[in-house]
Amino acid sequence: MIMTEPICAVCSTPMHQQWDDWCFRCATCGTWASTLPVLINSDAAHRALDEDLRDIGLATLRRQNLAIVVQQLVDSGVSPPARLLDVGSAHGWFLRAASERGFDAEGVEPDEAVAARSDAGRVRVGFFPGALAEDEQFDAITYNDVLEHLPDVDAMVAASVRHLRPGGLLSINIPDSGGMIFWVARVLRRIGMRSAFDRLWQVGLPSPHLWYFDRRGLVRLGERHGLEPVYSGSLDSVSRVGLWQRVHSDRRPSVTSVAGFALAWLAAPILNAGRASDIMHVVFRRRHDAA
């Protein structure tokens, strides 16, 4: 892999290599990034991931968290039948949750194989914002565990502002580099145990993680584009229901995977406790003077 220095999406400064030739960190704000290859629509990459197991493994956690996301949109001032866009709509979990509440919800999903599995709402196969008409606008745009997978998050946030009506909401839930899971994985990686750290970055999967922000960095990114934070909270990281399938969606059971499953099952209440959670949820409102 050719080593490059990504530019920090928060500080706009070159990032420095950290441990691996694909892993970088900003010395100024602490944002993390990777240069892992994105293999969306690659048959070889998809063979390494069992989508049926992944669907089962994440379904309970996604339904629970996305119901909270929908409610937070309502609490923040966007109500049915407002028009919503889910970027990276995957299996359609959010579209289903929003549609059931009466929203006019549609999604955009670049992975053809994943989009074909969605049975909820309208899904455009393609990349955001290219899949939209230039003048389309929405009352709310959501990124549900998606923004961290996108190479140019700065451009994606700017595009989101363009496609939001003035006063519209941008909802982002994303892994938190300040969470307990990421902290533990960093400690283990520092002493040479890399499996947990690689797993968090989804090394070798079709759509690996390319960014890890902390809460302060994500808010700074939004504010730079004319977005005002109106809510900041956390979502559960782990559900015991489906955990076995989630752990093994890209591998056969092994001593390491079984040990990881057992540890996550036992630690679930701690990992889901407030700021210890690995998932942060921030809702922004587009200011009327945003470009």
Domain ranges of the chain: 49-286
Say how many residues make up the chain: 291
Residues of the chain with pLDDT under 50: 1-2, 53-54, 56-57, 239-248, 265
What pLDDT shows up at residue 22?
95
Q: Residue 185 carries which DSSP code?
A: H
Beta bridge partners of 23: 34
CATH assignment, 49-286: 3.40.50.150
Beta strands in the chain (DSSP E): 16-18, 20-25, 32-34, 83-87, 104-109, 122-125, 138-144, 164-175, 211-212, 227-235, 279-286
Angle at 289 between CA 286 and CA 291, to 5 degrees: 80
**Two tokens at 155?**
């451009």
Q: What is the DSSP string of 13-31?
A: SB-EEESEEEEEE-TTT--
- Position 50, amino acid: D
Give the long-range contacts of residues 154-157, CB within 8 A, separation 24 or more: 154/9, 154/221, 156/87, 156/128, 156/129, 157/221, 157/222, 157/225, 157/227
CB atoms within 10 A of CB 122: 14
Angle at 153 between CA 221 and CA 188, to 5 degrees: 90
Q: What is the DSSP string of 187-228?
A: HHHHTT--HHHHHHHTTTSSS---EEB-HHHHHHHHHHTTEE
Please choose, from the candidates 175, 208, 32, 184, the residue with its C-alpha nearest in 3D space to the C-alpha of residue 24.
32
What pLDDT shows up at residue 111?
84
